Amino acid sequence: MTDILEAISLVASWDVILVIVAASLFGLFMGAIPGLTATMATALLVPVTFFMEPLPAIAAIVSATAMAIVAGDIPGALLRMPGTPASAVYADEAYLMGKKGKLGLALGINVTCSMLGGIIGVIVLALFAPRIAEFALQFTSDEYFWLALLGLSCAILVSGKDPLKGAVSMLIGLTIAMVGMDSVSGQVRFTFGSYDLLAGVSLLPILIGLFAITELLRSIPGSGHGAPKTDVPPGCVLSGVGSTTWRYKGGVARGGLLGTMIGALPGAGADIASWISYAISRKLSRTPEKYGTGHPEGLVSASAANNAALSGAYIPALVFGIPGDTVTAIIIGVLTTKGITPGPDVFTEQGALVNAIFLVFVLANLLLLPLGILAIKGAGRLLTVPTGVLYPLILMFCIVGAFSANNTMFDVWIMLGLGLLGYFLMENDFPLGPLILAFILGPIIESNFMRSILKSDGDLMAFVDRPIAMVLAILAVLVWTLIIANGVLKPQSKGGSTGKSNDALNVANGK
Amino acid sequence: MRTNDAVSGAIAAALGAALIVASADLSPLPRQVYGAGTFPTVTGVLLLLVGGLLVVKGLRDRQPWIRWTAKVPLRAFLKALGAVVASVTAYILLTPVLGFPVVALVILSLLFQVYYRRGWVLSVSIAGISTAAIWGLFAQMLYVPLEPGLLEWVLYP
């Protein structure tokens, strides 16, 4: 109880509330502009969060991503151009509803169901995370080694159409993570004599390079004067939303729960949650033939799922320190730089902070409704923002943001290099998600491996002599067998990244 | 730009081989066979393996060696690539000499002129406001030590 009261007092401070509102508005803007993703919004926010206390920093990221996902629905419904990959699956459906004169209903459903899905996700997170954390207190370095390895391996399996490419992406991330001084032996690795690399490669220039510069390289060629002014729905956008949502209440609940579960899987984020939820909703529907013609049923389920997935991703991130998606990978990086290592101990040692994070989630999701309506009303003007001005500005923001990590130009070079690498990888269907997850998890895997090996005096069997460790080890081996078998046996698809779903998946994995 | 998987696989395998060679110099912990070289070696071996599988796959599927598959024309991409690389390089090399306000103003003006195409007056005006806003946020509010350069006497009289 004391923790909860303390959490309320932490969240109720003016700086946290201000940060939530400001970050939501930032996320709203980023999500509404096609081509700017929620992960890009997060990457651009990180330089600012470096100067904040842990709670406002998390609040900023949580609010911005939740709002960006919702705002991404708006250009999808108005222009048939999803603002973020998480909206791609139902952009057509919402657009066709608009053509039938139900634009207000489509956008109202997006906002309302996103909020409901987000709240379902928070409830699951708040109920289950502490219980799992209690169980995780028994874990030693053996279990953590296998768990991190398993998380990373699952990320490869679910993050793209070719697991071999996911594996290469992951191994590149591990390689980058090994640069610098080894934390156990103190030996210097792969620095090529550079003093700047002694402490390793910083997270921030990697994030900005991979998720902002890569996207800029894809978006700048098409930049110019922004979209033409579009008509926004007149009157109250929530009219008819309540009755439609109630009619499909099962879909909202299913989307929320499914989204949370999918979000908790490492590597699977909001985009995959909405794709799967839409597909299941269609399969279970009494009127599947209406899907794709401007029917609200799939919209309800998928809108709930993508926001619920955001909360779900925090379950492994907070409980084990294993990120569920790229955004939570960033959160772990931010928390670590602030001296907080996510894991079960956080629940016992910093219970107030954990509860405050849950409250922030609730607040951010509740804010989706008023700010979402504001976004819908202002969408016509928002979409006319000239991208020929916006993209160069983002580029300058990236440069200064990368510099601010350590106040060195070396990081700006790193950002540029990673941006070019990210572009090459994306164009060749190598998902970026496993790379960033490996960069975060690499040191965790290595340090736990070394700790276990030192404890056991070099006996490798010690890694599987505890029941949980053995189960995790078997699962990890199974996942790797699947990765290799899938990569070798799966027939090659022709034409590369041309399909809409693949595009969305690719962006999202880098997303 | 999409390459045959054999090309990306070969690059990955080469990186793996380089990792294995570079890790050979790293000494193990006292009285152990494991140490700072263990993980890089394992990563290198996996890169070799997975890269090798990609090479086999690329050759088996007979994909074209290189092709342009992006939705934008190659020329527009090369222009954007040039703009990004030149902007970042110019910033890194010129900011320590001329300072952030001058370099950012020039880079942004040029980029606006190329991509917004509404004339120099508007480009320079928007660039001026944007530079001031970024300076205000990072240098004044977040205390990031951006180089004032030539304008030091104006900014810090």
Of B32, B54, B61, the CB nearest to A164: B54
8 A C-beta contact, residue A319 and residue A129: yes
Alpha helices in B1-157 (DSSP H): 5-23, 38-61, 74-98, 100-115, 120-134, 152-155
Share of chain A above pLDDT 90, in %: 9
Residue among A184, A404, A484 whose CB faces B144 most closely: A404
Residues B95 and B41 in one domain: no
Q: Which of A387, A315, A287, A333 is nearest to A121 (CA)?
A: A315
Do B78 and B128 fall into the same domain? yes
Q: Can you tell me whether residue A100 is helix, strand or coil?
A: coil
Q: With bands split at pLDDT 50, 70 and 90, how would you rate the model's confidence at A498?
A: very low
Say if residue B108 is in the same domain as residue B146.
Answer: yes
Q: Are residues B37 and B80 in the same domain?
A: no
Contacts of A147 (CB under 8 A, 6+ apart): A139, A320, A322, A472
Scanning A49-68 for CB atoms below 8 A from B yields 51
| pLDDT of the residue at B15 | 95
The predicted pLDDT at position A98 comes to 79
Checking if the pLDDT of A511 tops 60, the result is: no
Residue A502: predicted pLDDT: 40
Is the pLDDT at B127 greater than 90? The verdict is yes
Average pLDDT over residues A88-97: 80
**Confidence tier at A500 by pLDDT (50, 70, 90):** very low
Q: How confident is the model at residue A497 (pLDDT cuts 50, 70, 90)?
A: very low
Partner-chain contact B91 A412, CB within 8 Å? yes
Report yes or no: A85 and A37 within 8 Å, Cβ to Cβ.
Answer: yes
Give the least confident one: A88-92, A108-112, A314-318: A88-92
The per-residue pLDDT for A506 is: 40
**Is the model's pLDDT at A99 over the cut of 60?**
yes
Q: Are residues B10 and B25 in the same domain?
A: yes
CA pair distance B25, B36, nearest whole angstrom:
10
Taking CA atoms, A129 is separated from A126, B34, B63, in Å, by 6, 35, 46
Give the largest Cα separation in chain A, rounded.
72
Q: Among the three residues B21, B39, B67, which one is the final residue of a domain in this structure? A: B67
Rounded to an integer, the average pLDDT of A412-439 is 90
A419 contacts chain B (CB < 8 A): yes
The closest CB to that of B2, out of A223, A487, A496, belongs to: A496
Query: Where is pLDDT greater, at B106 or A452?
Result: B106
Q: How high is the pLDDT of residue A231?
A: 62
pLDDT at A380 over 80: no
How many beta-carbon contacts under 8 Å exist across A and B? 193
Residue A482 clears pLDDT 50, i.e. is over it = yes
- Which of A232-241, A342-351, A496-505 ranks highest by mean pLDDT? A342-351
Q: Identify the band that residue A267 occupies on the pLDDT scale cut at 50, 70 and 90.
A: low
Same domain, B145 and B81: yes
A4 or B57, which is more confident: B57
Which is higher by pLDDT, A501 or A234?
A234
Q: How confident is the model at residue B74 (pLDDT cuts 50, 70, 90)?
A: confident
Burial class (CB in 10 A: 0-12, 13-18, 19+), A249: exposed
Summary mean pLDDT of chain A:
81
Q: Look at B63 and A475; give whichever has higher pLDDT.
A: A475
- Determine the average pLDDT of the residues in A135-139: 79
**Angle between helical axes of A467-489 and A163-178 (0-180°, round to 10):** 120
Q: Do B108 and A392 touch (CB under 8 A)?
A: yes
pLDDT at A420 over 50: yes
Cα–Cα nearest to B110, from A225, A501, A396, A414: A396
Minimal Cβ distance to A427: which of B70, B73, B104? B70
Helices A500-509 and A433-455: crossing angle, nearest 10°?
50
Asked whether A166 and A483 are in contact (CB, 8 A), the reply is yes
Together in a domain, B128 and B111: yes
Whole-number Å distance between alpha carbons of A327 and A99: 34
Nearest CA of chain B to the CA of A308: how many Å? 32
Of A27-41, A141-155, B118-132, the range with the lowest mean pLDDT is A27-41
Q: Specify the pLDDT at position A490.
A: 62
Subunit contact B115:A220, Cβ cutoff 8 A:
yes
Per domain, the residue ranges of chain A are 2-222+239-509
Residues B78 and B59 in one domain: no
Which chain A residue has its CA at the smallest distance from B110's CA? Answer: A392
The two structure tokens encoding residue B89? 């390089």
The per-residue pLDDT for range A182-195, each reduced to its tens digit, is: 878 888 898 888 88
Nearest to A396 by CA among A139, A212, A249, A174: A212
pLDDT in tens, A272-327: 788 888 888 888 888 888 887 888 888 888 888 888 888 888 888 888 887 777 78
Q: Mark yes or no for CB contact B53/A484 under 8 Å.
A: yes
Q: Are the beta carbons of B34 and A450 separated by less than 8 Å?
A: yes
Please state the φ and ψ torsions of residue A479, each to the nearest 5 degrees: -60, -40
In sequence order, what DSSP letters do the residues of A105-128 get, joined into one string?
HHHHHHHHHHHHHHHHHHHHHHHH
| B79 and B54 fall within a common domain | no
Work out the pLDDT band at B20, boundaries 50, 70, 90.
very high
Instruction: Tell me, yes or no, whether B84 and B47 share the same domain.
Output: no
Domain total for chain B? 2
**Which residue in A441, A464, A478 sits closest to A151, CA to CA?**
A441
pLDDT score, position B121:
93
Residues of chain A contacting residue B74, judged by C-beta atoms under 8 Å apart: none
**Using CB atoms, which residue from A217, A225, A400 is nearest to B81?**
A217
CB under 8 Å to A389, separation ≥6 — which residues? B112, B115, B116, B126
Does A390 reach chain B within 8 Å, measured CB to CB? no
Same domain, B49 and B79: no
- pLDDT score recorded for residue A225: 66
User: pLDDT grade, residue A237 (50/70/90)?
Assistant: low
A254-266: average pLDDT: 84
The whole-number pLDDT of residue A487 equals: 65
What is the residue range of B122's domain? Answer: 74-155
Q: Which amino acid is at A384?
A: T
